[in-house]
C-alpha cells in the first residue's frame, strides 16, 4: 500500500445522519456483522443436508407405522404407544417438522458464534465503545438469534411442506394441514427454533472461547440427549426409578422434542410442559448472559 | 460537548493481587496532544479502558467533558478511540468493519468510505482484514475512531507496527487534529516520538502518577535535577574551572557547580545555566569557543523518573 497523506482536513459529512431508533440500529448492525462473515452459511448448509436426511428417515418410520401391523408379544403398554404413534396426524406432524433435531443445534451454534466471535476477534472493544449500554447489545444479539432461528424454521418448512404432502399422498392421506395437532406442531417448532437461538446466546456469554463454546454446545446437545436416554433407561428399568422418566424432560433438547410431538403419547407429559421447560431455560440463560456481560471487564 | 476536557480523578483498579492503577489523577486539555507515558505494565491501557467504560474502576472516576463515557448520548460523535490494532473480524473487509459501526451508531454508510479516504486506505477497503499489514490495521483503527468526527481522541500505542513514513503520517494527523481544538490523548512508550508529538505529558509508573505538565516544563523542571548541563569549550579550561569554583550556587545556595572535564578543552558544568558560565568566563578573561546549554531529552528524564519502577508486577 502506498502512503497517501490525507489531502483534506478531517471534515465530517455535514449530514452525519440523524440516528434512527437505537434498538433497530443495533439489530441492523448485528445482522451486518453476521452477513459480512462467511461462517453462517456453512451452518445453514449443514442444517439443510441434515434436513434431507431427516426427511428420508421420517419417511421410513412413517412407512413402517402405516404399513405394518402391531407386532405380537409386546406389552399392553407398548402396544398403546405404537397404536397412538400410528395415527396419521402424529406421523404428519413428525414429517412437517423434519430436520428439527439438527436444525435446532445449528441455530444454537450460530447464536453461540454471534457472541463468541466478538471475543475471538477482539471486536468486543469496538462494539462496546460504539454502544456502552451493554444490555442493549446483548438484547440485539438475542433478537438476531431469534430472527435467524425463525428464518431457518421458514426455510425448513418451505422444504417440508411439499415433501410431506408428497409422502402422505403415497399412503392415500390428505395433507392433514387442517388438523390442529399438526398445525400446533409446526408452530411449536417455530418456538423451538427461536428459543434455541436464545439458549445459544446464553451459552456464548457463559463460555467466551469460540471453539470451547461451540464444541461443548454441540457435544452436550448431541451426546447429552443420547446419554440422558441411556441413563433414563438404566435407572428406570434397572433400579425401578420411575421418576427419572419424567426428570429427563428437564434436559433442553428432550424438552423441545416433547414440545413438538404431535400428540400426547401415553406415559409422556403433555407437550406444553416441554414448552414451559424450554422457555425457562431460554429465560435463565438469556438473563445470566445479560447480567454477566454488564459487569465483565473487556480487556 | 463544549469543551472535551478529560478529567481522571483518584482512579483506582485493583486486581486480585495487583494494584494496576492506584489513585491516579490528571487532566487532559483540549487543543493539545497529550502523551501518556509509562513503562510496560504501568497501567496505561487499564487507565484508558476505565476512561472508556470497558473496565470498571475499583474506585475513582474518569470523565470526558464532565460526563462518564457510559453516560454520553452519542459516544462516537464525541470520543474516538483506537485501542487494539487487531480488533476487527479476520474474515470481514475493512469497509464492512466500518459499516457495522456506522449501522450501530446511526451514521450513513457513505461515512465509512469518507474515513477510509481520510486515512489513505481506500484501495484496501474491500480486502479482508486478515490480509492487512500492521500499518493498515492501525489506519483502519484510526478510520473507525474518526467516523463520528469526535472532539476527543484516545489512542493506545498507535505508532506500534508503523514504519517511519507511517509514524510521520500519524504525527502530522494527530497534531492537525489538536490544532483543530480537539483533545488528543496518546499512550506510548516511544519517548523520542512523544517528544516530537506531544505538547503535554503524563508519566505514570506502577499505576501511580510520576509527573505531568507540558513537555518543556517536565524536561526543564524535572530535567534540571536530572542531568541538565552546560557544555563549554575553551583553551583555558583550568582558569575557567577555577572561576566557576568561586560561585556559590546563587539564589538556591546549592554550593558551587559541578565541573567535569571532557575531551580536549571541554568542561561539562551542571548546576548553573549557560549565562552564568558566560559571565564567569568574562570575569576570568577566558576565551570561549563553544557554549551550549544541553537540555536533557525526555528519554533521560523518563528513565530517571521511572527508574526501578518498570516491569512485571
- The residue-averaged pLDDT of A254-282 equals 79
Mean of per-residue pLDDT scores for chain B: 87
Give the pLDDT band of residue A294 (cuts 50, 70, 90). confident
Helix, strand, or coil (residue B228): coil
Q: CA-CA distance, B5 to B1, in Å (whole number)?
A: 10
Q: Is A209 on the interface with B (CB under 8 A)?
A: no
B135 min Cα distance to partner chain A (Å)? 9
pLDDT in tens, A74-122: 676 676 666 666 678 888 888 999 988 899 999 999 999 999 999 888 8
Helix, strand, or coil (residue B281): helix
> What is the predicted ipTM?
0.82
Cell of B222: 524535572
Q: Is A295 on the interface with B (CB under 8 A)?
A: yes
Closest chain B residue by Cα to residue A6: B118
Flag if B54 and A29 touch (Cβ within 8 Å). no
Give the mutation candidate from B103, B125, B144 for the A interface (greatest A CB count, under 10 A). Answer: B103
Is the confidence at residue B211, as pLDDT, over 70? yes
Q: Is A36 on the interface with B (CB under 8 A)?
A: yes
- As a whole-number percent, the residues of chain A with pLDDT over 90 amount to 37
Residue A178's Cβ-side half-sphere holds a number of Cα atoms within 13 Å equal to 2
- Cα B26 from chain centroid (whole Å): 14
Give the burial class of B224: count Cβ atoms within 10 A of its Cβ; 0-12 exposed, 13-18 middle, 19 or more buried.
Answer: middle
Mean of per-residue pLDDT scores for chain A: 84
Q: CA-CA distance, B281 to B311, in Å (whole number)?
A: 46
For residues A266 and A81, the answer to whether their CB atoms sit within 8 Å is: yes
List, as one string, the DSSP characters of chain A.
------SS--PPPS-------HHHHHHHHHHHHHHTSSSHHHHHHHHHHHHHHHHHHHHHHHHHHHHSPPPTT--HHHHHHHHHHHSHHHHHHHHHTTTHHHHHHHHHHHHHHHHHHHHHTT-HHHHHHH---HHHHHHHHHHHHHHHHHHHHHHHHHHHHHHHHHHHHHTT----TTSHHHHHHHHHHHHHHHHHHHHHHHHHHH---HHHHHHHHHHHHHHHHHHHHHHHHIIIIIS--THHHHHGGGSHHHHHHHHT-SS--TTS--HHHHHHHHHHHHHHHHHHHHHHHHH----
Top pLDDT among A48 and B305 is at: A48
Q: Is A19 on the interface with B (CB under 8 A)?
A: yes
Helix, strand, or coil (residue B264): coil
A251 min Cα distance to partner chain B (Å)? 34
Give the pLDDT score at A80. 66
B211 min Cα distance to partner chain A (Å)? 26
Report long-range pairs for A155-158 (Cβ below 8 Å, ≥24 apart): A155/A44, A155/A48, A156/A47, A156/A51, A156/A98, A156/A99, A156/A100, A156/A103, A157/A96, A157/A186, A157/A189
Flag if B111 and A10 touch (Cβ within 8 Å). no
Cell of B283: 570575569
According to DSSP, residue B61 is labeled E
Flag if A299 and B123 touch (Cβ within 8 Å). no
pLDDT in tens, A30-70: 999 999 988 788 889 999 999 999 999 999 988 888 776 66
pLDDT in tens, A173-216: 888 888 888 898 899 899 999 999 999 999 998 888 999 999 99
Give the pLDDT score at B276. 85
pLDDT in tens, A207-224: 889 999 999 999 888 887
- The residue-averaged pLDDT of B46-62 equals 94
Amino acid at each position: 500500500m502506498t502512503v497517501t497523506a490525507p489531502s483534506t482536513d478531517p471534515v465530517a459529512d455535514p449530514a452525519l445522519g440523524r440516528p434512527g431508533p437505537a434498538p433497530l440500529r443495533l439489530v441492523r448492525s448485528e445482522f451486518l456483522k453476521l452477513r459480512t462473515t462467511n461462517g453462517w452459511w456453512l451452518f445453514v448448509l449443514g442444517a439443510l443436508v441434515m434436513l434431507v436426511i431427516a426427511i428420508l428417515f421420517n419417511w421410513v418410520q412413517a412407512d413402517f407405522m402405516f404399513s405394518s401391523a402391531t407386532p405380537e408379544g409386546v406389552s399392553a403398554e407398548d402396544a398403546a404407544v405404537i397404536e397412538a404413534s400410528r395415527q396419521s396426524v402424529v406421523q404428519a406432524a413428525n414429517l412437517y417438522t423434519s430436520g428439527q433435531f439438527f436444525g435446532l443445534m445449528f441455530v444454537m451454534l450460530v447464536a453461540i458464534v454471534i457472541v463468541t466471535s466478538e471475543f475471538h476477534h477482539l471486536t468486543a472493544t469496538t462494539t462496546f465503545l460504539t454502544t456502552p449500554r451493554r444490555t442493549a447489545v446483548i438484547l440485539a444479539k438475542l433478537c438476531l438469534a431469534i430472527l435467524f432461528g425463525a428464518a431457518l424454521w421458514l426455510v425448513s418448512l418451505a422444504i417440508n411442506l411439499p415433501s410431506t404432502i408428497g409422502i402422505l399422498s403415497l399412503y392415500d392421506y390428505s395433507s392433514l394441514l387442517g388438523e390442529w395437532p399438526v398445525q400446533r406442531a409446526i408452530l411449536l417448532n417455530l418456538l423451538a427454533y427461536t428459543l434455541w437461538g436464545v439458549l445459544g446466546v446464553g451459552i456464548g456469554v457463559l463460555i467466551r472461547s469460540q471453539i470451547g463454546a461451540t464444541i461443548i454446545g454441540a457435544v452436550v446437545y448431541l451426546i447429552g440427549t443420547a446419554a440422558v436416554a441411556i441413563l433414563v433407561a438404566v435407572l428406570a428399568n434397572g433400579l425401578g426409578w420411575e421418576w427419572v422418566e419424567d426428570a429427563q424432560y428437564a434436559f433442553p433438547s428432550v424438552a423441545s422434542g416433547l414440545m413438538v410431538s404431535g400428540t400426547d403419547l401415553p406415559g409422556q407429559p403433555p407437550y406444553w410442559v416441554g414448552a414451559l421447560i424450554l422457555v425457562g431455560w431460554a429465560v435463565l440463560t438469556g438473563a445470566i448472559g445479560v447480567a454477566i456481560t454488564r459487569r465483565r471487564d473487556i480487556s | 460537548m463544549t469543551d472535551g476536557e478529560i478529567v481522571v480523578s483518584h482512579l483506582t483498579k485493583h486486581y486480585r493481587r495487583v494494584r494496576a492503577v492506584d489513585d491516579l489523577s490528571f487532566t487532559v486539555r483540549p487543543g493539545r496532544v497529550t502523551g501518556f507515558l509509562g513503562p510496560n505494565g504501568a497501567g496505561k491501557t487499564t487507565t484508558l479502558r476505565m476512561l472508556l467504560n470497558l473496565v470498571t474502576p475499583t474506585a475513582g472516576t474518569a470523565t470526558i467533558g464532565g460526563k462518564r463515557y457510559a453516560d454520553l448520548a452519542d459516544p462516537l460523535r464525541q470520543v474516538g478511540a483506537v485501542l487494539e490494532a487487531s480488533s476487527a473480524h479476520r474474515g470481514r473487509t475493512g469497509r464492512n468493519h466500518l459499516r457495522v459501526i456506522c449501522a450501530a451508531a446511526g451514521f450513513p454508510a457513505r461515512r465509512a468510505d469518507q474515513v477510509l479516504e481520510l486515512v489513505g486506505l481506500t484501495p484496501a477497503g474491500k480486502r479482508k482484514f486478515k490480509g492487512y499489514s500492521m500499518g493498515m490495521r492501525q489506519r483502519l483503527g484510526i478510520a473507525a475512531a474518526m467516523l463520528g468526527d469526535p472532539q476527543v481522541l484516545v489512542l493506545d500505542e498507535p505508532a506500534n507496527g508503523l514504519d517511519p513514513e507511517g509514524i510521520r503520517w500519524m504525527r502530522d494527523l494527530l497534531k492537525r487534529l489538536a490544532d483543530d481544538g480537539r483533545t488528543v490523548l496518546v499512550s506510548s512508550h516511544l519517548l523520542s516520538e512523544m517528544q516530537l508529538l506531544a505538547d503535554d505529558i503524563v508519566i505514570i509508573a506502577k499505576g501511580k502518577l510520576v509527573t505531568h505538565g507540558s513537555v518543556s516544563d517536565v524536561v526543564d523542571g524535572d530535567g534540571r535535577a536530572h542531568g541538565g548541563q552546560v557544555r563549554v569549550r575553551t583553551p583555558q579550561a583550568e582558569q575557567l574551572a577555577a572561576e566557576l569554583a568561586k560561585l556559590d550556587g546563587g539564589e538556591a545556595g546549592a554550593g558551587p557547580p559541578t565541573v567535569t572535564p571532557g575531551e580536549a578543552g571541554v568542561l561539562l558544568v551542571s548546576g548553573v545555566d549557560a549565562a552564568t558560565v558566560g559571565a564567569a568566563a568574562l570575569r576570568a578573561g577566558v576565551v570561549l569557543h563553544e557554549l551550549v546549554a544541553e537540555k536533557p531529552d525526555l528519554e533521560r528524564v523518563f528513565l530517571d523518573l521511572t527508574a526501578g519502577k518498570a516491569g512485571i508486577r
